[in-house]
Amino acid sequence: MKLEEAIDTKRLTETIEAAQKHLFDIQEDGGYWQGDFKSNPTIEAEHLMLTQFMGLKDEGEWKKVVNYLKRKQLEDGSWNIFPGGKGDLSTTIECYFAFKLAGESTEGEEMTKAREFIMDKGGIPEARIFTKIWLSLFGIWDWDRVPAMPPELIFFPDWFPINIYEFASWARGTIVPLLIVISKKPVHQLPADKKLPELFPEGWSWEDEDRTEKDYSTFSWSNLFQIADDALKYYNRLPWQPGREKAIKKCEEWIVARQEADGSWGGIQPPWVYSLLALYIQGYQLDHPVMQKGIEGLGSFSIEERDELKLQACVSPVWDTAWAVLALVESGLPSDHPELNLAGEWLLDMEIRSEGDWSVDLDEVEPGGWAFEFANENYPDTDDTSVVVIALDELSLHDKEKEKAEAIDRGLQWLLAMQSSNGGWGAFDVDNDQEILYEIPFADFGAIIDPPTVDVTAHILEMMGRLGFDMNDKPVKRGYEYIRDEQNEDGSWFGRWGVNYIYGTGCVLPGMEAIGEDMTKPYVRKAVDWIKNHQNGDGGWGETLESYSNPELAGEGESTPSQTAWSLISLIAAGEEDSMSVKRGVEYLLEQQTEDGTWEEENYTGTGFPGDFYIGYVLYRHYFPLIALGRYREAITEG
């Protein structure tokens, strides 16, 4: 096709119809959609460590996990945390240890190359805290050299500057069980041939670790917390610790109260495995109902393929279903389509009507939100809720219209209550923005707070705009001002939950259009220029995950279907449907569609914790391109 020519509308329609068919082909019997949730090999490695610690080793399962890990190992012997990324020290240590537990030969090529990589990076002493916690469970690292976290933290009131509810929901669900684990300092004894002396530098000693210089001459939060850590370690060595067992018991009760119907905790791997560890350490037998449900539930997050077994860190059916519904409706299917009706009723059934941790700060607010997973009653999130409300609002549910309207209203009211003081929205809590928590010695594992973000706020503004709100409404105005304040000098916006500046910008512009913004304003045009200037030669857009650590790489990377779609969606929202950039982007999606009606995407374009945990949402490559093509067709038809 010559770029000066219009897009072939017949080909466009055929591409859309093929994508619609593919979505219906993969719709589950219950009416929902669920794509695989890809993350990194620590999930599998820690599963082997967990089952070893609790005496649950299954030789057949372990062999398949090891096969999977072997396939994911890089040429230099390391493992990375996202496709195309460099080898990660802590991830490689955990995989190496998992191999050793599984009986792999240390003289084999896989372990030899992994060991060389680890030692080149400084060995175990340079690993992250969480890796050292796992190694301490097996007597390889010293518990006394793990940052102290007192279980008495569970008693700190929610008005106190540091309490468990100041941590993000995912960190809170991980930290509370670790309060038990770290205070108990359990060790699962291993035979000598399973330990890791070869991963310590030659001549290294614990005295070397203790001689690390600490400068307390100036005041800083970091120094204050380090002094507190030293004091706590001294206290932990005392023979009498008044209130300690009572605090541990309170942590135990907190954990048990938050187990979900599917056996998980928080619907994600870290709180789940650490909760099982904590309760096991507390003396819960494997046949105890809580333990049984937790262990059996892990199987529902597993995917077995031939001679391999991998574990998902999470599942995303609500998120996937809401976006799939939007993709189908916005690409031209009728709002009362039977399969969409089934999906809408499923979404209604997934509404959370009970109070969760969010209610600690909002105890008079009626529950009414949606979570990411099948079961996560304690942690509905604002992003899922906004997208589900948009999807439901697009559907005609026949005899369920009254229930739909009531659910939408509850979701709206809940979201209004969840708006933070700066006008933006976090994902799970209000004003969860205590930055000093990052100064705690324990906090080296990524995001531990949940402050407002532009991408979530933009989705909520888009929802409000579709429901009839505009700039005359105070919550909209406050959210709008927050987003304006967060725009980067180059015109882009940071993406917290998707990669990265392409995602952030791709969320903002449709949100602004929905609330009635004048899309010719200079700040909008600046964003449009940024998007156009980062289009690749093949017509698509892409951005590497490295842009989180190096902002100079913002908007740069090989083209992907999902990031191309986000760019197109934002340009179309800004009235650019007739531009050459949009035509080239649409042509890229038309050319890249596979014979079975979908798109291929190896690169991860989802974000869990910037810099530490990234996500490959398998369905991003499908429903976002379908939304983009659907909106493009509508725009040129109306034009």
Q: Which residues contact 194 (CB under 8 A, 6 or more apart)?
A: 100, 101, 138
Could you tell me if 599 and 625 are in contact, meaning their C-beta atoms sit under 8 angstroms apart?
Answer: yes
Compute the average pLDDT of residues 411-419.
98
Compute the average pLDDT of residues 481-496.
98
Edge to edge, what strands does the sheet with 37-38 contain? Answer: 37-38, 613-617, 606-609
- Whether the pLDDT of residue 4 is over 60: the answer is no
Q: pLDDT tens-digit profile of 509-518?
A: 999 999 999 9
Tokens for 198, please give them.
């070869």
Tokens for 267, please give them.
């619907």
Could you tell me if 31 and 342 are in contact, meaning their C-beta atoms sit under 8 angstroms apart?
Answer: yes
Compute the average pLDDT of residues 370-380.
96
CA geometry: angle at 134 spanning 96 and 94, to 5°? 20
42-201+222-311 in CATH: which number? 1.50.10.20
pLDDT of 240: 66
Compute the average pLDDT of residues 205-224.
63
Of 47-56, 139-148, 156-165, 210-219, the range with the highest mean pLDDT is: 47-56
Tokens for 276, please give them.
């099982």
- Whether the pLDDT of residue 216 is over 80: the answer is no
pLDDT of 489: 97
pLDDT of 564: 98
pLDDT of 1: 42
pLDDT of 233: 60
Could you tell me if 188 and 137 are in contact, meaning their C-beta atoms sit under 8 angstroms apart?
Answer: yes
Compute the average pLDDT of residues 45-52.
98
Under the phi-then-psi rule, with left for phi > 0, alpha for psi from -120 to 50, and beta for the rest, what region is 103? Answer: left
Q: pLDDT tens-digit profile of 84-142?
A: 999 999 999 999 999 999 999 999 999 999 999 999 999 999 999 999 999 999 999 99
pLDDT of 225: 56
Compute the average pLDDT of residues 219-231.
58
- Whether the pLDDT of residue 555 is over 70: the answer is yes
Q: How far apart are CA 513 and CA 372, in angstroms?
A: 26
Compute the average pLDDT of residues 412-427.
98
pLDDT of 227: 59
Could you tell me if 618 and 600 are in contact, meaning their C-beta atoms sit under 8 angstroms apart?
Answer: no
Compute the average pLDDT of residues 183-205.
94
Enumerate the β-bridge partners of residue 303. Answer: 310
> Which of 4, 26, 1, 8 has the alpha carbon at shortest distance from 629?
8
Q: How far apart are CA 120 and CA 167, in angstroms?
A: 34
Residue 193 has a CB neighbour count (10 Å cut-off) of 8
Q: End-to-end CA distance of the chain: give it in Å, rounded.
A: 21
Q: pLDDT tens-digit profile of 232-243?
A: 665 567 676 777
DSSP 188: -
Q: Report residue 446's pLDDT band, with 50, 70 and 90 as the boundaries.
A: confident
> Which of 381, 482, 359, 478 has the alpha carbon at shortest distance from 426?
381
pLDDT of 228: 60
Compute the average pLDDT of residues 525-541.
98
Compute the average pLDDT of residues 357-365.
94
Q: Report residue 223's pLDDT band, with 50, 70 and 90 as the boundaries.
A: low
What value does the mean pLDDT of the chain take?
93
pLDDT of 357: 96
Residue 237 — φ and ψ, nearest 5°?
A: -90, -10
- Whether the pLDDT of residue 481 is over 50: the answer is yes
pLDDT of 206: 82
Compute the average pLDDT of residues 386-395.
98
Instruction: Give percent above pLDDT 90 in the chain.
Output: 87
Tokens for 37, please give them.
């949730």
Could you tell me if 621 and 561 are in contact, meaning their C-beta atoms sit under 8 angstroms apart?
Answer: yes
Could you tell me if 347 and 391 are in contact, meaning their C-beta atoms sit under 8 angstroms apart?
Answer: yes
383 is catalytic: yes
Domain boundaries, the chain: 42-201+222-311
Q: Report residue 217's pLDDT band, with 50, 70 and 90 as the boundaries.
A: low
- Whether the pLDDT of residue 210 is over 70: the answer is no
- Whether the pLDDT of residue 259 is over 80: the answer is yes
Compute the average pLDDT of residues 131-156.
93
Compute the average pLDDT of residues 369-396.
97
Q: Report residue 441's pLDDT band, with 50, 70 and 90 as the boundaries.
A: confident
Compute the average pLDDT of residues 178-183.
95
Q: Residue written as tokens 């038990």?
A: 180
pLDDT of 540: 98
Compute the average pLDDT of residues 220-236.
59
pLDDT of 230: 60
Compute the average pLDDT of residues 556-563.
98
pLDDT of 639: 64
CA distances from 47 to 4, 58, 98, 286 (A): 55, 11, 9, 16
- Whether the pLDDT of residue 482 is over 70: the answer is yes
Q: Which among 88, 320, 381, 383 is annotated as catalytic?
A: 383
Q: Report residue 397's pLDDT band, with 50, 70 and 90 as the boundaries.
A: very high
Compute the average pLDDT of residues 435-442.
80
Q: Report residue 162's pLDDT band, with 50, 70 and 90 as the boundaries.
A: confident
Q: Is the dihedral of CA 267, 268, 270, 276 positive or negative?
A: positive
pLDDT of 161: 82
Number of H helices, E strands in the chain: 23, 5
For 12-26, 158-172, 329-343, 612-626, which range has the lowest pLDDT when averaged over its residues? 158-172
